[in-house]
A and B are shown apart, each in its own frame.
Chain A
């Protein structure tokens, strides 16, 4: 359904994203994980064709959706896909809706635009979708303004907008990061249900490894604008090859015991202008050798997964 090959994104002379590849079929959930600043959101914006909004552009690679090359698609054609067959859910529901408009019209417009519905048909559809998203009293909600609703409700509205035209691919960019923990679980379960019921292909971008473990079929781990490991979720969790993936999994708190402390990865993600030479992770890597600071590692395949590390699988 969706295939991304060697994607490279540039803002002027700076290339914050390169060499990202993955593929995704209907009914599948792909998790893209990584710390803040690793290029996850840029990947989402690339798929939606919205990079020009922030001044970026795709300089290499391809994005193929349902046999169609997206990177060279003309804007009017792309616009029909956006909201129509490609849905986007953004990070912060508090700021994702137009505060001056009622909820109803903001959702209605998608069905009107992409399904050619009249106002009345679109409203009926909106109410139906809001209902399936377990929003209480969908009819009254349509006449509310965004500021009168909670974050979790607003995120459901955003999901409703993304679903209104029955898309094939849903891109969810950290859909739960800004929400309360209890609401997070509800939203994740909701998305999971939707994938199964509607046979959606879901790209779930998150920095939460436990969310990935619960919902995804495949994982792409990103670091400093590159994919560094990808594969089926079981393989990645049971036998992570890349030291960064291992460290990320090591950060998941396991339970409530007195002597367990929260672990982290020392250091921070480098900024775009300071990407290190060689393997970008080497300054923070416990297993780094001399070669790691000079040569960029290629992917080492093992079974269905692959990791970009000189010592893939060798270190634990």
Chain B
């Protein structure tokens, strides 16, 4: 399954990138160069070849571990990615951990609370978190915490202080999503017949929640978390940009602006790969947690 999907993704990525109007040579060439210079440059990067040939050259090179050279940035694409990826992984990983942990806790609280005030607060939080766009929240955060209170730096990537605001910004939506799924899953499983019998055995509500309800509720939560593994890399695109952080997202946006085909293709491929790995991890986790799924796979 992974192989046909990877092939179609690589085709789609390649086509989309090359169908964009404009080309990298415009960003490369000096003002006042002759059409001959331009033609020479185009030939140098193989852009005069049919798309078909270009695609196979790209794929063939990639299989040898060669992502090619960035046309505008004039460096090996692999170097650019190696330089930016750690920042994305750091930010995405922290935001992922933050939204999983806080989201599950919030979702559980909102499902079991008897206080109307807490329930309403949670509902409001979930609604806000699911709807507020990240870039807008990022600007608000910068305005309040960085400019007004000056607790954290406005931008950059120096030390843990500069991670707090971006992690919070990305995490906010994630927390809301995870909390919502946890809440709904808990409410659903609580209505199952076997819960009555758990109470009839004399178990306390707390131990029923921890040992029976939460493991069930985690099944859908793990699925959406796994799908968000791809999001670790790709979801931070606008937030990285607003906070002026290096990373795959920033690299992608810059490369897109310059129509730097090899860089854009490599970035998109990384993101697609992350999503596919996420799906795979989700399936494996699902099987590890649910004996019924294990059985069906055999």
Binding site for B on A (CB under 8 A): 48, 50, 53, 79-84, 86-88, 90-92, 95-101, 109-110, 113-114, 145, 147-148, 158, 161-162
Contact = CB atoms under 8 A, between A and B. Distances in A.
Contacts of B292: 99, 145, 147
The 7 closest A-B pairs by CB, nearest first: A83-B202, A88-B200, A83-B201, A95-B193, A82-B202, A145-B291, A96-B197
Interface in B168-196: 192-196
B79 interface: no
B290 A100 contact: yes
A11 to B, nearest CB: 16
A82 B290 contact: no
Contacts of B200: 48, 50, 82-83, 86-88, 90, 162
14 contacts: A53-B196, A82-B202, A86-B200, A88-B197, A95-B193, A96-B194, A98-B216, A99-B291, A100-B215, A100-B216, A109-B201, A110-B202, A145-B292, A148-B295
Contacts of B193: 90-92, 95-96
Q: Main secondary structure on chain B at its contact with chain A?
A: helix
Interface string B249-279: 0000000000000000000000000000000
Contacts of A84: 202
B129 to A, nearest CB: 29
A82 B192 contact: no
A137 to B, nearest CB: 19
A98 B212 contact: yes
Interface string B203-228: 11000000010011000000000000
Contacts of B192: 95
Contacts of B203: 79, 83, 109, 113
Q: Which of B198, B201, B203, B212 counts the most chain A CB atoms within 10 A?
A: B201
A98 B212 CA distance: 7
Given A79-B203, A110-B202, 9 more contacts: A50-B199, A84-B202, A90-B193, A95-B192, A98-B198, A99-B291, A100-B212, A100-B290, A113-B202
A81 B202 CA distance: 7
Contacts, number: 75
Nearest to B290: A100
B113 to A, nearest CB: 16
A161 B199 CA distance: 12
Contacts of B198: 98
A90 B215 contact: no
B201 A113 contact: yes
B289 A161 contact: no
A183 to B, nearest CB: 18
B142 to A, nearest CB: 44
B213 to A, nearest CB: 10
Nearest to A84: B202
A79 B197 contact: no
Given A90-B197, A95-B194, A100 B202 contact: no
A161 B201 contact: yes
A287 B106 CA distance: 60
Contact of B201 (A53, A82, A91, A99): A82
B114 to A, nearest CB: 11
Given A90-B197, A97-B194, A161-B197, A80 B202 contact: yes
A48 B202 CA distance: 10
A241 B292 CA distance: 51
Interface in B277-298: 289-292, 295
Nearest to A161: B201
Contacts of A50: 196, 199-200
Nearest to B219: A100
A160 to B, nearest CB: 11
A86 B200 CA distance: 8
A100 B212 CA distance: 8
A101 B215 CA distance: 10
Contacts of A110: 201-202
A79 to B, nearest CB: 5
B202 A79 contact: yes
Nearest to B212: A98
B214 to A, nearest CB: 11
A145 to B, nearest CB: 4
